[in-house]
Amino acid sequence: MKTTLFAFGAILLACFSFAQQPAASAVPQKTLIHAAHLLDVKTGKTLDNVNVVIEGDRISSVTQGAPPSGAKVITMPNATLLPGFIDAHTHLTYEPNFGYQELGISIPKEALIGAKNARVTLEAGFTTVRNVGARGFTDVALRDSINEGLVPGPRMLVSGPPLSITGGHCDQNLLPYEYHATAGGTADGVEAVQHKVRENIKYGADLIKVCATGGVLSKGDDPKASQYTLEELKAIVADAHRLGRKVAAHAHGAQGIAWAAEAGVDSIEHGSYIDENGIRIMKEHGTYLVPTQYLGDWMRENAAKIGLPAMYAEKMKTVTAAMRQNISKAIQAGVKIALGTDAAVYPHGLNAHEFEVYTRLGLTPLQSIQTGTVNAADLLGWSDRVGSLEPGKFADIVAVEGDPLKDITLLQHPTFVMKGGVVYKNISSGRE
């Protein structure tokens, strides 16, 4: 017995002594990417024969010339490196399900859908997204799961349930009165919207999404009609900004765009009927426009195939017919543009088609690429960590085979995707 007690005591002492020893500091893994070219998205210059050294999840240096030794080397002799793309308007937990079929999708299933779409989006080259609308805070759960390493996906800023007036776009309008169905973000009046902003933040929202006008894929509302009053919008923005959150406003109609910009929102989503007054106010306030243009192309080609309900189809046809001309005017007038896709209206993974559409609206290929890199990073408030390939920023890197300034459609087919120093796609080496 004495021998046993002595041995047990020795084990305890050893465990205690071990616990007191400082943990050995892990040495960050060093990786080197040696590539033919790198596009400096800030200046538009293409650097040749480049070396990007990554330590842990950050870029430590960007040089030209012979590759330095002492690192794991990834060689890309024909590739152009770019920063990971940023989509400022996604709905990862949604799919292209329209009308009454939406009612059959549970919140738990949306969370699983989000996990699938997160990987698809990441492998399409989008290493950062802003998720602007999800039921039941499924986007919060998805963001946290990605951050914890449970599922692969892009960096996420999330809004939780979008704010809506009763019966407006972003409310639940598909069920009859006896069900008393109301969407999670529904709130009317200054006091109620203040409470909803605070509630969303309580449950994990990084930003606030507000539906300032009617929409297209919703029953019984008019995209041109304003929903929230100017006073309500000001209350939403004041509380969000005071609590350190930015505000994204879904807005199609001209008055709603102007009111939202005047209230101080950080971005206007869609902007289909923007007019000269809205352009003027947005420029005065430095408000970003997130145009979501490719969805119009995709819908024109696929609306009949997917059986878009008639109550949505006519609105989609009318709005998309007007939006290109109006968005082009805003671009020509110098409104700040950040890339956003509204992916979920069409299948996830096609996000990079948005770049090409912008070049048809008056942006150069470089300016278009900037909308989904430096501009979007600025809108998100993350310019210090993403949006360009510079020392100190996250090692979020995309590669394409060729020159995207000559052929912007190359962005639709990335051959390499790295997020935080981890490779998620590498076609050139035969691994995907």
3-state helix, strand, coil in the chain (%, to 5): 40, 25, 40
Angle at 21 between CA 18 and CA 24, to 5 degrees: 115
Which position among 87, 239, 342, 396 bears the catalytic label? 342
Residue 185 Cα distances to 88, 158, 228, 249, angstroms: 20, 14, 13, 14
Residue 302 Cα distances to 44, 307, 345, 357, 413, angstroms: 35, 8, 11, 17, 21
At 168, which amino acid appears? G
Question: Treating both helix axes as pointing N-terminal to C-terminal, what angle do 353-360 and 294-306 enclose, rounded to 10 degrees?
Answer: 120
3-class DSSP state of 117: helix
Task: Give yes or no for a contact between 206 and 245, defined as CB atoms under 8 angstroms apart.
Answer: yes
Q: Give Dmax over CA atoms of the chain in angstroms.
A: 91
What are the two backbone dihedrals, phi and then psi, of residue 168, each rounded to the nearest 5 degrees? -95, 180
- Is-catalytic flag, 222? no
DSSP classification of residue 23: P
Strand order in 397-401's β-sheet? 58-64, 46-55, 30-39, 72-83, 397-401, 416-419, 422-426
- Is-catalytic flag, 275? no
Residues 387 and 35: their CA atoms lie apart, in Å, by 19
Which position among 209, 246, 315, 336 bears the catalytic label? 209
Residues 94 and 90: their CA atoms lie apart, in Å, by 9
Q: Catalogue the active-site residues.
A: 209, 342
